[in-house]
Amino acid sequence: MSVETPRRIVLLRHAKAEWSQASDHERPLAERGRKDAPVAGRRLADSGIDFDLALCSTAARTRETWKLAVHEFSRRPRTVYEERLYEASLGDLIALFNETPDEVRDLLVIGHNPGMHGAADALSGSAEGDTLARMTRDGFPTAAYAVVEFPGSWKSVEHGAGRLTEYWTPND
């Protein structure tokens, strides 16, 4: 694939988790989360994006979100469970994006806030329509996702390099 081919990062926040006695890393999805995750998966499946790679945090709530969402896809992308996504800073996330192989065109990242919102905001130098205003107004609720498109190789992903083309929440 040419580095001239536009690439997309889809940042999906895990669905609603329970507040339990388990460690934060092991918290399962709440009932609402188990309902919202397949809805997000259906919406992503209908988007026309054919994911080459999914990076999923190792936390229980992200793994469960991915399991319920990917069930809606016609083709399961290669999935890597990435420990560095749990409690990732913006710098950690950009480093992960920069490591993505150039043959990957469309990358799905299933992670946590504040990282997912922060990455969508930081990478978006521009936005289509009211997507950025809605994301700023609504925050980045559970099971929400943002699509950021950018030119060049994965090594060129940095602050302001992309265009926010879609922002969706389960309330939409």
Please confirm, yes or no, whether 99 is among the known catalytic residues: no
**How far is 121 from 13, CA to CA, in rounded Å?**
14
Please confirm, yes or no, whether 87 is among the known catalytic residues: yes
Q: Which helix (H) or strand (E) holds 80?
A: strand 78-82
CB atoms within 10 A of CB 22: 12
**How far is 64 from 41, CA to CA, in rounded Å?**
12
Residue 61 annotated as binding site: yes
Tell me 17's DSSP state: B
Q: What is the CA radius of gyration of the chain?
A: 15
CA geometry: angle 81, 58, 42, nearest 5 deg? 70
Helix axes 90-98, 115-123, angle to 10 degrees: 70
- Say which of 14, 64, 117, 166 is annotated catalytic: 14
Decide: helix, strand or coil at residue 24: helix
- Say which of 18, 25, 72, 87 is annotated catalytic: 87
CB atoms within 10 A of CB 101: 11
Catalytic positions, written as ranges = 14, 87
Give the residue numbers of the binding site for substrate. 61
Give the residue numbers of the binding site. 61
